[in-house]
Structure formats: C-alpha cells, structure tokens
Structure 1
Amino acid sequence: MNFKLSTFTAALLLGSASLSASADETCASPYMAKITGQEDFVYIWTLGAEGVGDEQDKLVTVDVNPKSKQYGKVVASLSVGGRNEAHHSDFTDDRRFLWAGGLDTNKIFIFDVATDPAKPKLTKTITDFVAKSGGVVGPHSLYALPGRMVITGLSNNKDHGGRTAIVEYSNAGDYIATYWLPTDDNLQGAIKSGKYADGYNYDVRALPRKNLMLTSSFTGWSNYMMDFGKMLNDQEAMKRFGNTVVQWDLHSRQPKKVFDVPGAPLEIRCAWDKAHNYCFTSTALTSKIWLIYQDDKGEWQAKDVADIGEPAKIPLPVDISISSDDKTLWVNTFMDGKTRRFDISDPFHPKQVFEQKIGAQVNMVSSSWDGKRLYYTSSLLANWDKKGADNEQYFKAYSWDGDKLTEQFSIDFNKEKLGRAHQMRFGAYALYGKAPK
C-alpha cells in the first residue's frame, strides 16, 4: 500500500481498522453436500478493476482437477455488468445455485452451477435487497439453511454506519424476514455479557446440533468503500468497527447473548466433530484467535486463546480455514502476505507450527475436505488493496503434505485481464451425478 506501516500502527492506536475475507469446503454450511474427493472447479467471485479487461465484476471458473486437459486454466468467465464490489458467495443447501453479493450496489447474483458445472449461468439478479430488507446495506456472508439463504448485512441506508441485520430469503430468491442485531438501546431480549452491544455484523455460522447461530462484526459502508489510506487518517472512521460476537437461537432467529470480542472479529469457523462444541474467529485489529465454546454448565463463552504472528507488527489477519478433523486452523495475514498453520488439537491453546509467504498480499484461503489442497486469492476490497507493484491479483493452487506447501499453478488475474480475485467456492461434476466432459 502507499502508506508507511508506522502510519498504520499509529492509526490503529487511535481506534481500529479492519479487513474482510471468507470460504471453502471445510467451512461451508453443515446442511450442504460436501465434496470429499477431488474438486473439479474453483469458482472465483472477482471484482472488476478500472482499466483491466471489461472492468466488470465476474464469476471466474478455473479447472483444478489434475486429470483434466484444462487443469490450471480459466474455462469460463461470466461478467455481470458494472462494478458492484463483488465480495462473498455461497451455495444453496442443494448446491445447485451459487449466490454472490455486491457490497456497494447491494445486488445479489444467482448462478446455476448444476446444469453445467464448467459454465455457470446467471439466472436471477436481486436488485431490491435494501427495500425488501427494510434498509439493510452490504450483503456479505450468504449461508445455506434448509430451503433458505441467510445473508449478513454490513450496513444500513440511514447513516451507512455499522448497525445492520441478518436477512433471510428462500432458495427461490424471495424475501422472508429481517433480524436486526441487538444494540444497547434495543437488546431484543439478549444478555449483554460485557461492554459492547454495537449492532454490527459480518459473518454467520451455525451448529445445528446445539441450536446455535453465531454472527461476528466488521464495519459499515462509509468505511469499507473509503480509500484505505484516507480512512486510516480519519480518527472518527477508525472508531467505527465492531467488537462483538452474537449468540442466536438458530431456529427462532432470536439473539441470546452478546460477547465482547474487541478488534473486529471476522470469519467464524465451527468444529465438525459432534463432540466438539466450539467455533473460532480471529480479530483483524488485535491479531488474536478467539474461541467461542460451550462450558461445563452448558453456557456459551468467548475467550482469546492465541496471538497471530506479532500483533505489534500489525499482520492483519483476514481469512481463516478449519480442517475437517478439527486439528488445523489456517490463518492468512494480509500485510505480510503470509499463511499460517495453527495446531488446534487443544482448542484452548492453539500453537503456530508453520508459516509461508504466499504473495505481496493475501486474503482468502480455501481447503479441500481432505486437507491436501489449498487455494489462495489476493483481493480484500477495491479501495483497500495494496498499490503499485504490491497490487498482486492472483489465484494460486498448492498441495499440502503435512509439512510443506508446494505451489501447483498460479493465475495472474492482472495479466489475464480478469480483475481482483476475491472469494472461492468449489464445484464438482459428481455432485450432480455427472461425468467430466
């Protein structure tokens, strides 16, 4: 980026700063069918970039099956018109449709990925998200429940700040309900366990066996659409970041408890084993791993359990990915471009056991179900990515043998005139009873 790290550090001391991220097979909804073998494709929801190709947001499909003649190549690219601040995407529970959101225009694009997994088709665009939801802005995480998609908003249309809601749709794309986050002036029956009840939102995850839904917190439109350097020098803007994780009743969608998790907790990743009643999140501002867990009395609690890198150096944790055996947590840090592996066999005492630099900047990490393949992308937000030579935009595929990451191939999204590579989802012919063409 075109600012000094010392300036960034000083800005953090004034308030807070954050980054955004998400996505992969081991972090998907438990209601969704999983690809436990070899994935055939990675769908990359990509931001359009001014002066790059057609400058439009697009869904890029890359063939990642080593047995394919097209391995390591872009096999489809579907532009959606304009730049919407493409960010996150996810499948419906039947995995036939991929929903992808735009944080700026508030549009949601729905792609058919089942008819031809190699060539997704845009089948519907939701353009009235703000009006239908009652003023929610910035559709972020899109998460599958049975017959439903729940969508976390990041902002609102009144002040474009961080107070916002969860919005529920049917798989057909029809609006169902809006659930606003609890705040100090309206806790909605939730218990405030600490200092904060800020009403901010970011990610959402569920543990159905415990009737648990969790949401984390980020920042509003006025910050995430601002130039990063400008925001760092705006003391008021730097105060407008979330410090909470909220426990919800999954079935009733009612908030139950608000936890203090200071420092902008971003992605939430829940354990898979039925005996493991806990989830992880990481804080972008304070570089910590937090554990949200059920105690011996059956109550849910939040505890910081590990540092990520050297917090004083501001590594800026972004995306995280849990392994299917609940033993590994991969953590990406944007500023130093590194991925870190934590041993979480003891969830209360994670230990970093590996790190590797992926690029000048790195955001997303996605793991195959067996943990043998990891994929990385580069972009955070259009106005927050690094500048100049450090503005690397890529999709990279690695193999993991338990000791080291080995790059298999890389696609330069700048060179290929595709844009800013952001979030990834996996596709496979086998999900739909199809054979590769």
Structure 2
Amino acid sequence: MADSLSHSDPTLYRTPAEAVAAPPEKLAYVVGFDRTARRPDALMTVDTDPGSPSYGRVVNTARLPNLGDELHHFGWNACSSALAHACHSDPQRRFLILPGLRSSRLHVFDTRPDPARPRLVKVIEADELAAKAGYSRPHTLHCGPGGVFLSCLGGAYGAEGPGGVALLDHETFDVLRPWETDRGPQHLAYDVWWHLGHDIAVTSEWGTPSMIENGLDAELLLRRGYGHALHFWELGTGRHLQRVDLGDEHQMVLELRPAHDPEATWGFAGVVVSVADLSASVWLWHRDGQAFAVRKVITIPAEPAAPEDLPPALKPFGAVPPLVTDINLSVDDRWLYVSAWGTGELLQFDVSDPFHPRRTASVRLGGIVGREPHPSAPDVPLTGGPQMLELSRDGRRVYVTNSLYGAWDDQFYPGGIRPWMAKLDADTGHGGLAADPRFFPHGDDFQGLRVHQTRLQGGDASSDSYCFR
C-alpha cells in the first residue's frame, strides 16, 4: 500500500507501535440510554486524566433530540486506515457517529472546538438508511476504506433481513449504498472488521430484529436458531467468499477482534453461549491455505448456583452462564480481554501465541449471583457485570460498563440495572488486573441512564485499523 495525503490530525497513526507510544487519553465518551424511553438518550463525557480534579467524573451530558433511540455502539468518522486510502480530503478523527439501535436514526456529534462538550450537528433519519442501503437497526460502525462501515441487523424499515453493512460518506455522513455486492448465503448480521493488507473483510452473526428486541428467545436458542457462523468477504468489492460454521451449539457469534498487525490474517471472535452446557467461548480464525479456518481456543464454563438465587430465565438450569458479550485485543496483539457479563468477571489472556491463549488474571464486578462490589464502595452490591470494554492504545487501562441491551438486561437482572463504569489498570509486562479505586462513576452520576459502549479520545484498541507495520 502506498502512503496517501499528509494529514493534520496527530491521532491518526501509521503503525500500531506509534499508537501505543502516543500520549494517553484524557477523556472518554460513553453512551447512555433510558430504558423507559421517557427521557432522551445521551452522549456523556468522562474525565480520564488522573491529574485532573474531576478525574473519574461525568463532566458533560449531551442529550439527543428524540425519545426511544437506545444508543448502543458508536464510533469515529476517521481512523488510522485513512492514511493509506484517499477517501478523505483532510482526514480528522473529529466526529462521533451514534446509531440508535431501536430507532434506526444516526446522530453525528462534533468534538470540536471543545472535546469535552461534543455538539450534535446532524441527524440521519431511518428512512434514509432504508431507502439508500436497504437496512435498519444500525449496530456497529468502523471507519474504513471507501467510507464508514455500518453493520445493521435488519432489512429496510425493520424487516427481518437480511442484515448487512451500509456504507456512509466519511465527511458528509450521507448513506451511500449497501456495501455487499454478492452476499452469498449470509443472512444474519452483527459485527464487521477486516484485514486491510489482504483485502479481506469478516462479519459475524447475532439475529434479526424480532429475534433480539424483546429479549433472549429461549425457545429459539434451544432450537439453535441464532447466528453461529463467520463470513469472509472481498473487502474492496463486497463479494462473499466463504462461510465458516462454528457449529450450531455455539449460539450468537458477536464481537470480532482482528490482529492489529496489517499483515496478519488471524483474529478472535466471541461466542455468547453453548446450548450444550451454557459455557461461553472465544474462537480464533486464521488463514489455512487459500481459505479460512476456525478453532475454539478459550472455553469459560458455567458456574453452579442455587435456583432461588437465579432469575426466572435461568432457574431450570441451576447455573449461571458466563455470557461472553465483548472481547478486546490490545494494539500490540499480545493481550486479550474477555467480559463474562453473566458471572461478573473480566478475564485477561496472554495471546502471544494466538493458537494457545494463557489466562493471566481476572477481576470480579457485579454478576447475576455474586454482585461483587467495587473496591471504592465495598458495601454496595453491583447490578450487571463487565459488559462493553474498551482498552487504551498503550494497553494499560481497561474501561468497562455494565449494560448489555435493555430487554436482555431485564431478563438476566430483573431487579434492574443501576449504571456503573469502572477502570482497571493492566500489567502489560507479565499480566495482571486491578480496579482503580479512584475511578467509579455510577448511579446518579449518569442521571439514571444505562451505559453501554465507551470510546476514548484519540482512538482506542477497538476503533482503529492500521495500514503499515
């Protein structure tokens, strides 16, 4: 790949090593939603500068103009991949794009001139997404070659599918078209990522709108009806190349984390639950000759529990499933973090050899049964568990929030989800995790909104792809 235009944004990095060496983030952006849909959702800014008097506090709340959006995942308009693709006239990591998972609206926030106080500058209505791309229920977005890639769970106007990827203009945010040109057998959608150096994209599977919006469908789960495959594509053309089935016992293949090394052809995928034993797992995809293959490299077992301690959905099983709902890979491709939202555990693995991960540390916070408290509030049992996690570019700080998705929160934590966010300090030498007692915004700090994904000022481990080694 040839280098492209010079750029004015110092947070766009040519290589993973440059990103690791860059100054630490001073702000985190967190989306919150109102489960009752009686108040607008919001983009909140949290101070992450340990030397600041407002460290660990919410310093700004920017409300949306409508009700019922249910903010979920979000991301930047530009990232480091722009340095090798002439898709921006002047690439700048400046705008945050916030999809409403229930409303199918997109909200664009400008982080300039004051990064702590983003301003809403544009709203793209659901009709535009449906008319121009044929999709609804926007879920995850990544800045990539040719545009912003926006994965969507539903077809136009909430239809049952197929789900897929809409392409947005990097600078105007207009919906351009569907990315796929030949989708082959792909029908279910969730995440999308890529190996830039090899013109390969990868997508995963969750379910269509009716399969997720009212909570986990136990009958559908036991029929093995949720997604259980990975799809490989030609990135530049949107042409489907290969479907790899993990086996239908492995239900809900969600987060994708490819290696940051642009020449690598491997990555990790998290699986929520096995219907055989309620375990969760992490799988490695890798090149095997001209095709891709997968193997299970991490298994996290369910934990026995007394039925009287379990929510109704789990009482018949007498166990708590880990429910792996997010994973994150450090920018140097050495450390993998796995959130077990059901048991309330955040796990760290050394993946120097990605085929043989080695567990090095874990921390408990919340959990369906354990309700493990934060060290700063030892008498306060926590609801929810480590769910969405974000990792700093240097790999030394892990940020976690505790809400999964409104209807699913209610099933597994029927007493309610009281919002919290935690920061854990990571040992990047030999492994280790410890919760920072100074950083624990929770409860009324978030004005009652449940918090989901976090993005870090200047980029983070899961929002960037790099073009050079």
Shorter-chain TM-score above 0.5: yes
Q: In the alignment, which residue of structure 1 is the partner of 2:123?
A: 125
Task: For residue 333 of structure 1, report the CA deviation from its aligned partner.
Answer: 0.9
- Bigger RCO (CA 8 Å, 6+ sep): 1
Task: For residue 239 of structure 1, report the CA deviation from its aligned partner.
Answer: 4.5
Going from structure 1 to structure 2, the CA distance change for 1:284 and 1:133 (only over 3 Å counts) comes to: farther
Q: In the alignment, which residue of structure 2 is the partner of 1:175?
A: 175
Gaps of 5+ in 1: 1-27, 188-196, 430-437
Q: In the alignment, which residue of structure 2 is the partner of 1:149?
A: 148
Going from structure 1 to structure 2, the CA distance change for 1:200 and 1:29 (only over 3 Å counts) comes to: farther
Q: How does 1:22-171 map to 2 (within 5 A)?
A: 34=19, 36-50=22-36, 55-80=39-64, 81-93=66-78, 94-127=92-125, 128-146=127-145, 148-157=147-156, 160-161=159-160, 163-171=162-170
Q: In the alignment, which residue of structure 1 is the partner of 2:455?
A: 425
| Equivalent-residue separation in structure 1 for 2:418 and 2:252 (angstroms) | 25
Matched, 1:403 2:432: yes
Task: For residue 403 of structure 1, report the CA deviation from its aligned partner.
Answer: 2.3
Q: In the alignment, which residue of structure 1 is the partner of 2:207?
A: 219
Q: In the alignment, which residue of structure 1 is the partner of 2:297?
A: 305
What is the total number of aligned residue pairs between the two structures?
A: 383
Task: For residue 180 of structure 1, report the CA deviation from its aligned partner.
Answer: 4.8
For residues 61-80 of structure 1, what are the alpha-carbon distances to aligned partners after superposition, in whole Å with 9 as ceiling and x for unaligned? 00101122221111110110
- SS in structure 2 at match of 1:410: coil
- SS in structure 2 at match of 1:71: coil
Q: In the alignment, which residue of structure 2 is the partner of 1:394?
A: 420
Amino acid at match of 1:330: Y
For residues 294-353 of structure 1, what are the alpha-carbon distances to aligned partners after superposition, in whole Å with 9 as ceiling and x for unaligned? 13x343222222212448852110110101221211000111111011221111122222
Structure 1 segments of 4+ aligned residues over 6 angstroms from their partners: 28-31
* 8 Å CA contact retained: 2:360, 2:432: no
| Equivalent-residue separation in structure 2 for 1:135 and 1:276 (angstroms) | 33
Q: Percent identity between the aligned chains? A: 26
Q: In the alignment, which residue of structure 2 is the partner of 1:259?
A: 244
Matched, 1:343 2:350: yes
* 8 Å CA contact retained: 1:306, 1:350: yes
* 8 Å CA contact retained: 2:44, 2:61: yes
| Equivalent-residue separation in structure 2 for 1:30 and 1:214 (angstroms) | 21
Amino acid at match of 2:74: S
| Equivalent-residue separation in structure 2 for 1:236 and 1:145 (angstroms) | 33
For residues 74-131 of structure 1, what are the alpha-carbon distances to aligned partners after superposition, in whole Å with 9 as ceiling and x for unaligned? 1110110212121110101131111111111100101101321110011101003443
Amino acid at match of 2:456: F
Going from structure 1 to structure 2, the CA distance change for 1:236 and 1:370 (only over 3 Å counts) comes to: closer
Task: Give the TM-score normalised by structure 1.
Answer: 0.81
- SS in structure 1 at match of 2:393: coil
- SS in structure 1 at match of 2:408: coil
| Equivalent-residue separation in structure 2 for 1:75 and 1:350 (angstroms) | 38
After TM superposition, the structure 1 stretch with the greater mean CA deviation from structure 2, 130-139 or 173-182, is: 173-182
Matched, 1:316 2:323: yes
For residues 123-149 of structure 1, what are the alpha-carbon distances to aligned partners after superposition, in whole Å with 9 as ceiling and x for unaligned? 101003443245311111111014611
Matched, 1:249 2:248: no
Amino acid at match of 2:401: T
Task: Give the TM-score normalised by structure 2.
Answer: 0.75
Going from structure 1 to structure 2, the CA distance change for 1:159 and 1:382 (only over 3 Å counts) comes to: closer
- SS in structure 2 at match of 1:411: coil
| Equivalent-residue separation in structure 2 for 1:277 and 1:382 (angstroms) | 35
Amino acid at match of 2:27: F
Task: For residue 428 of structure 1, report the CA deviation from its aligned partner.
Answer: 4.8
* 8 Å CA contact retained: 1:162, 1:240: no
- SS in structure 1 at match of 2:74: strand
